[in-house]
Amino acid sequence: MSDISKSMALFAKGSAINSHGSLEFYGTSVQDLLEKYGSPLYVVDTDEVRERAQYFVNTATEAFHNTTVHVSYAGKALLTKRLVRIMLETGMHIDTCTMGEMRIALAAGAPGRRLVLHGNNKSYEELELAIREDFDKIVVDEPQEPARIAAIAKRLGTRARVMLRVSAGIHAGGHEFISTAHEDQKFGVALLSPTQNQTVPDFDNVSRETLEVLRTSPALRVLQEILKYPELELVGIHSHIGSNIHDADAFMQAAKRMMALRKTLYCTDAYTLPEVDLGGGYSVAYLEDEDSMDIALELQKLAQSVKETNAQLGMPMPVISFEPGRWIIAPTGCTLYTVGTTKTVQLPDGTYDSKGNLIHQRRYISVDGGMSDNIRPALYGAEYTAVLANRTSESEPVLSRIVGMHCESGDILVHERYLPQDITRGDILAIPLTGAYGRTMASNYNQALFPAVVAVSKQGSSVMLRRQTIEDLLEYDQD
């Protein structure tokens, strides 16, 4: 079996291996794609984007039957005008967090009431645009922000719909920098003060004592502050606990805390928060031996827990919101590279690979991209796999490391992979699962150019984001 055959489950559904042993998308080979659009190249299966987006919306709606569900696509994962239109057509909102993301969504035709604005340091201009365009939600991230939003809304003679981001104290996900619900970080307002965190109340069986503790919650104080402004409409609370989370357990714990806070605000101010946003962070499998979150199963478990909690609290169900990004877009994309230099390095005695096999040498395969088009391995230690994509090889697999072209020893795309020994200059490697946080986190390090993002579908292939050119770089340079 060829190397690529073992890994096909990681590629988008529109991919296949043709009779020449080459990876292709809807009948177009990787060789043809690179010849037409250049190398390296991001490839996104937009038919599968639509399918995954619609599946998430339908599955969440079914899980929370008899409850209104809103799903927002987290644009930070990858945002283009075409992707915005696909998401809107599946019933999604668009979650933005910068002026650039806002303007792309608006340029794609998104109405304000289908847009959300996040951000821990929103500019005056961003807030003004969101208020002018009547965004569905502006997510308040710190205690002074309500006053700023209210002042802008008052000047514009309108009201702004706001939601408070709450740090629930539930830690989930992978790398520390993407576990975002603990209190010692930049996002949100804490549910519990440091003193309260020393003796966390029981949120599994919320009692009068639990609600009493929450009466002094920092988050509750901000909610009460928001209610003082006639220019603000308080529409809910928001929790985001991390990224690439495999099951519903942590979401369930965070949801219980959000529902208890909602009950406390009702008890103190007779105000029923209309909506609770449970964020995103649903996992995908980056390697052959990993699993993605079973969305249908885990959302059913989450829905049951949320309904039971609200019944226990004697509260009506709120609108439930989600913000998937990676889960929708990551598996639909891959990056194609052309191989350049290859060399074999002798290793010290007693060196083992990740599976405990004694190894004596490692093959370094350099490609025409690197950390400028996928920073996640260097930034987070994220793991990817790779396949020889332009041909079948019967050559013996050897321990290989795929590295980029940049002036950094940490410029590694795939740390460890057994690949055919005969891989050589001009071959094509494909790395799956780069639809999320590849192009959107790209840089011009070493003045590398941004690769194009090409959409593939049953209708053929076309450019979503064009390749950057040397002329673009020179135009930035004002001498």
In terms of phi and psi (left: phi > 0; alpha: psi -120 to 50; beta: otherwise), the region of 205 is beta
The sign of the torsion formed by the CA atoms of 431, 434, 437, 442 equals positive
Catalytic residue from among 97, 267, 334, 407: 407
Give, for 195, the enclosing helix (H) or strand (E): helix 194-198
CA–CA distance, 308 with 64 (Å, rounded to integer) = 12
CA–CA distance, 190 with 173 (Å, rounded to integer) = 19
The single residue listed with the structure tokens 């608006």 is 106
With beta carbons less than 8 A apart as the criterion, state whether 274 and 319 touch.
Answer: yes
Cα distances (angstroms) measured from residue 289 to each of 16, 384, 385: 20, 12, 11
CA–CA distance, 4 with 432 (Å, rounded to integer) = 11
Tell me how far the alpha carbon of residue 237 is from its chain's centroid: 20
261 token code pair:
């806070």
166 closest CA partner among 265, 92, 87: 265
Cα distances (angstroms) measured from residue 242 to each of 173, 182, 251, 252: 5, 9, 10, 13
CB atoms under 10 Å from CB of 357, counted, come to: 10
In Å, the largest CA–CA distance within the chain is 74
CB atoms under 10 Å from CB of 204, counted, come to: 12
402 token code pair:
């795929």
318 closest CA partner among 259, 376, 268, 261: 259
Helices and strands of the chain, counted as H and E runs: 14, 21
CB atoms under 10 Å from CB of 19, counted, come to: 6
Q: Look up 407 and say whether it is catalytic.
A: yes
Which positions are catalytic?
407
